[in-house]
Structures are given as structure tokens and as C-alpha cells.
Amino acid sequence: MILLVIVAVVGAFAFALLMKLYWARNTPSKPTSMVTGAVVALLAALAILAASGRLHWLAALATGALPFLRHALRLALNPVGGLLLRRFLAGRGGPSPLGGMFGGFRQSPREASDDPRQSSVQTGDLRMTLNHETGEMDGEVLRGERQGRRLGEMDLAEVVTLLTEFADERSRQLLSAYLDRRAPGWDDAAQGNQDIQQDTMTVDRALKVLDLPDSAGRDDVVAAHRRLMQRLHPDRGGSAFLAATLNEAKKVLLDRL
């Protein structure tokens, strides 16, 4: 009996490790030996359970886990929910109430909700909420001219404009995920939308876009632009609209020096 318990624990650990490696896509690739070891351990555990006639334990466990798996699948099919689930499985650090199992947000992250049917993620500029039952997402602006307003109350052009106003990179990524859900293809449409592009790029706005102080020099501007482009360029899963905004901000700041 003790041996079977140990085998079951090893199998569960191997399965959890495989899921962790599969979902942690944006982390450096793990050694092949680790993946191979996890696969061998899982297969060995299944073989021992089958040979001992205890495989029905695994079936019972899987049946009990079905509600959780349905919940996880519903999360994964939503951009924000997928972000929450991937960060959970990837174990990324951060001052999270769950001891770092969620995280990666620089500004006071909060991924818990009083309502068990909802999950929320908070960054410096935005609090985004996902309803697990309906799949609906909405967000609240936490600072700036639109502080207190909800994304669902704004038209598309106004929401896209927020991308150029948020100084926090994580807020931009979260807002981009919301836009992908609300209006697929918004990025291409924003390129030619006069309502979105009508605002002139001022020095103050450029400093905010690149997250720089007024005293920033040429090297600071170039470095900030390079850093943000590496993370937000369309080729890296970012936004073409945001990349164009970064380029414009860089030009404005360099022209004034």
C-alpha cells in the first residue's frame, strides 16, 4: 500500500511538472533531460498502477478533477484568463498574496477576487476582471484623466488611445489582451483611424510613453525605446500601433535635444 501511494505521488508530480513545462512558454527552454525524466516517471507510475490493478484510483481521481479542469479550460480560452493560468503554472515570482504563484507585475499586483466566479489582475494603471462563468472581461482605469472609468463604457478609439497613455508596460500588455478579445483586428484598424491618431505627440506625452523623466538625454531615450521595442514589437507578440507610437515618441524627444 505504501509503495502504491509513493507511485501515485511520483506520477502526480511528474504530470504537474510536464504541465508546468508546457505552459511556461515565455521562459527559457528547459533541459531535455528534465522533460524526459518527467515522461519516464509518469509512464512508470501508470505501468505500476496498471499492473497492480490500482489504475481505477487514477480514474477516480480524474473524475474528481473534472470540475477543476473545466474551470482551467474556460480560463485558458480567454486572453486574460490564459495569462493568469500560464503565470500560475509557470510559477513566476512577485509580491502576490499566493506567495508568488501569480505575479510578474511591477505595480502592486492583485490576482484574487472576493467573488469566486471572478479573477482580477491589477497593474499600476489598470484593474482587469474576468468572469469565469460568462467569459466576459472588463477593466477599470486606476489613474490619469480617465481614472475610475470602465473599459466597457468607452468606445474602441478611446480604449486604444489608453495604450499611449499608460506608462506601465504590464498595463499595456493587459490592455492589448483585452482589445484582442473585444475587437479582433483592432491593431490594423488603429493604424488608419483618424480618431485615434488625431492627438499630436507632445514632449510630455512622449516622456510618458517611454517612461522617462524630463531630464532624460539622448542615450536614455534610445535605451528606453530599444527596451520597450524588444518587448512590444509586433514580431514579439506586441502591437503595431504601439510600436508606431514608440517610434513617434522617440523622434519627438530626440528632435528636442
Q: Give the DSSP per-residue string, 155-185.
A: -HHHHHHHHHH---HHHHHHHHHHHHHHSTT
Most trustworthy range by pLDDT among 59-63, 77-81, 139-143, 192-196:
139-143
Number of residues that this document lists for the chain: 257
Cell numbers for 80, please give them. Answer: 486574460
Are the C-beta atoms of 135 and 78 separated by less than 8 Å? Answer: yes
Q: Which residue has the cell 518527467?
A: 38
| pTM passes above 0.85 | no
Q: pLDDT digit string (tens) for 62-113?
A: 555 555 555 555 544 444 555 554 544 444 333 333 233 233 333 334 444 5
CA 221 from centre of chain: 26
> Which segment of 135-149, 171-185, 187-201, 238-252 scores lowest on mean pLDDT?
187-201
Residue 141 pLDDT: 95
Our CA dihedral for 72, 156, 113, 25, rounded to 10 degrees, sits at 40
CB neighbour class for 162 (10 Å; exposed up to 12, middle 13-18, buried from 19): buried
Domain ranges of the chain: 2-63
pLDDT band with cut points at 50, 70 and 90 for residue 47:
low
End-to-end CA distance of the chain: 75
